[in-house]
Amino acid sequence: MNIIRDCLDALLHPSARYDALTRARHRAFMAPRLLGSLAAFAAFPVYLAMRGAPTALEVVAFAWLIAPILLSWFLSRTGRYEGAHVLSSLALTGLVMTVAMTTGGIESFAAIWLVVVPLEAALSASRRVVAFACALTLACTAALIVSGHFDLLPPPDADAITRGVFMAFGVASATLYAAGLAFGAESLARTSVALLSVEEDRYRLLARNMSDVISRHRHNGAVQFISPAVEAMLGAPVSRLLGHGLFDRVHVADRPAYLTALSDAARGGEARSVEFRLRRDVPRGVARGQNNQVDFIWVEMRCRPLEQAAEAVSPEAEAEVVAVMRDVTDRKIQEQALELARTAAEQADASKTRFLATMSHELRTPLNAIIGFSEMIVQEDVLMIDAVRRKEYAQLINDSGQHLLSVVNGILDMSKMETGNFEISPEPFAPRAALINCCNLLALKARENAIDLVTRAPEDLPVMTGDPRAFKQIVLNLVANAIKFTERGGSVTASAAVEGARLVLRVSDTGVGISTDDLKRIGNPFFQAGKTYQRRHEGTGLGLSIVKSLVALHAGEMSVQSKLDEGTTVTVALPLAFTPRAEQPSSNIATLTPAVRSAPPEPSHQVKKSA
C-alpha cells in the first residue's frame, strides 16, 4: 500500500502536495481509475482468447478504458480537480449512451449506469459539478426515452435469457462501481475528520500555550469563546468571562471605547485597536495595593470581523468579531515614567528660566545702585557732595551690598540642601525665646509698612531639640514673607503651640493671597506667585523653598492654606525631640500640602511670593 501511495503521490500536481485533504482527494480520483483501467487492459487478452473476435460494441467499451487514464493525466498536469470530474462525467455518460443506444435504449442494461454519474460527481465536493452531472444524466435519460418512443434505436435482443444476463451484469457492475464510490466517499470523510481533529488539536495547543488571549465576540461585546490564557492574565476561570463576564471587568471609564471598537469592527468590516483597563483578581493571601485599591491591568485589544460569519450573513447584518488581547501594563508604566521624566525636565527648564529672569532683576538693581552711588562719591569734588549726602550714598551702597549677600546666601543654602550637604546641629533650645527674638528683629519693618505684628507663644512652651539657627531662619523667612505681601493696615500673626509630640508654628497674614493654581507650586525653588512682569516686591523665590527644605531636614511637615485677596496661613509642625538620621534627606522629600478653606476660623491668607 505504501508503494502504491508513493507512486500516486509522485503523480500529484504540485498544488496538491501541501494540503492533506486536497492530496487525499486527488489520490481518491486517480487510484480507482488507473487501477481499474490497468486491470481491464490486463484482462483483455484473456477475454479475446475465450470469446474470439470482439464486436464493435465491445471494442468501444474497451476503448473507453483509455479515458480514465487520460483523466488522471489531466489532473496530474493541471491540478484542476473540478474540471477532471466534469470530464469524467462526460466520458462515463458518453460510454453509457453509446452502449444503451445499441442495446435497447432506455430498456438497455447500460441505462442503469446513468444513476452512477451524479454519485461519482458527488466526490468532487462541488455543487456546480454535481448540478452539471445531474443535468447531464437527465438530458441523456430524456434522449433515450424520446429515441425509443419514435423507434429511432434498434430493437433490443429478443433472447430473454441474454437480456436477463446483460441486465444482471449491468446492475451488478453499477452496484460495484457505486460501492467503490461510497467507500471512496467514506475514506475522504474519515480523512476530513482526522485532519479536522488534528487542526483542532493544533489550534487548541496554540490557544493554551500562547500568552496572548484570543476571544470571539458578538457585536454587543458578549464573549462566545475565550482562550485559557486569560486565566493567567486575569486570575479568573474561563466560565466566569463568557457572556458579559469580560465586559463587567472593563474599567467603567473605558467601557465606551471597548464597545465602540467591537461594534465598529463588526459593522465596518475593518480591524480596530483599542487600549483599556481590566480588573484582575488578586490571589488569596496577596495584599491589595494601597488603600485597598482594585488591581487593574492595561490591555491592548486588536479586533476584526470573523470572515466565516461575514460570509454567512447579509451585508446589512453585523458579523461576529475575533479579538486578540495582550497585557501592556509594563509598557504603560514605562510611558508614564517617560511622561513624568518629561514633565520634570520641563519643570527644570522652567525653573532655570525663572531663575535667570529673577536673578537678572535681583542682581542688576543693587549692582547699578552700588556702581552709580560709588561713582558719585568718587566725583564728590566735581559734584560738590556734602557729608550728609555722602553718608546717605554710603548707606545705599551698604544696603545694596547686604541685599546681594542675602541673595547669594539664599542660593548657596538652597544648593546645599538640594545636594544633601546642608548640615544641621541639633541641640536643646527654647522655641518661645527664638520666636520672640525673630519677631522683634522684624518689628521695625512691620511698623514702617504700617502692619500690626502679633506674637502668640505661651510662657510654658517646652524646650525642644533641633537646630536653633534653622528654626530662626524658618521663622524669619515666614514672618518676612508675610510682612512683604501684606498691604498697609493689615496684620501678621506668628503663634506657637504644642500638639502631641510636635511644636506647631503658624504664621498668618491678611495679605494679597495667591491663586489655587499657583498654590500647588509654592515651595518650588525660584517660583514666585503671579507673573514675573507683575512683581511689586523684590525676592528670588527661595524663601519658602528654604523653609520647606529645613522643615524636611527636621522630619517635619509644612502646609499652606490660602485664599486670593484674603490672606495666607503657613503651618509648620516640628518634632519636639528630633533625632538626626545617618543620612539627611534632600529637600525634595518635603511634603507641601496646599488646601483652600472656604470659611476658616481665623483670617485665611495666601502664600506669598517667596522672598
Q: Where in the chain is the domain with CATH 3.30.450.20?
A: 213-283+293-327
Model pLDDT, residue 149: 76
- What's residue 287's pLDDT? 52
**Residue 223's closest CA among 209, 237, 210?**
237
The burial of 469, by beta-carbon neighbours within 10 Å (0-12 exposed, 13-18 middle, 19 or more buried), is given as middle
Identify the pLDDT of residue 595. Answer: 33
- The whole-number pLDDT of residue 601 equals 34
Tell me where in the chain the CATH 3.30.565.10 domain(s) lie: 427-595
463 exposed, middle or buried (CB, 10 Å; 0-12, 13-18, 19+)? exposed
Classify domain 336-419 by CATH number: 1.10.287.130
pLDDT tens readout for residues 110-123: 888 888 889 888 88
From-to residues of CATH 1.10.287.130 in the chain: 336-419
Alpha helices in 275-328 (DSSP H): 307-312
How buried is 73 (Cβ within 10 angstroms: 0-12 exposed, 13-18 middle, 19+ buried)?
middle
The pLDDT assigned to 591 comes to: 33
CB burial string 1-33: b at 16+ within 10 A, e below: eeeeeeebeebbbeebeeeeebbbbbbbbbbbb
- CATH architecture of the domain with range 427-595: 2-Layer Sandwich (3.30)
Q: Give pLDDT tens digits for 283-299.
A: 655 555 444 456 899 99
What integer pLDDT is reported at residue 135 of this predicted model? 92
Characterize the bridge pairing of strands 452-456 and 464-466.
unpaired
Assessment of whether the complete model's pTM goes beyond 0.95: no
Q: What is the pLDDT of residue 541?
A: 54
Res 69: pLDDT: 84
pLDDT tens for 365-415 read: 678 778 887 888 888 777 777 888 888 888 888 877 876 776 677 667 666
Burial label, 124 (beta-carbon count in 10 A; 0-12, 13-18, 19+): buried
What's the alpha-carbon Rg for the chain, to the nearest Å?
A: 50
213-283+293-327: CATH architecture: 2-Layer Sandwich (3.30)
Specify the DSSP class assigned to residue 555.
Answer: T
- The low-confidence residues of the chain, meaning pLDDT below 50, are 289-292, 309-315, 526-527, 531-540, 582-611
Helix (H, G, I), strand (E, B), or coil: what is residue 297?
strand
Name residue 243's beta-bridge partners.
223
User: Alpha-carbon dihedral of residues 100, 105, 111, 115, nearest 10 degrees?
Assistant: 120
Q: How many helices (H) and strands (E) does the chain have?
A: 19, 13
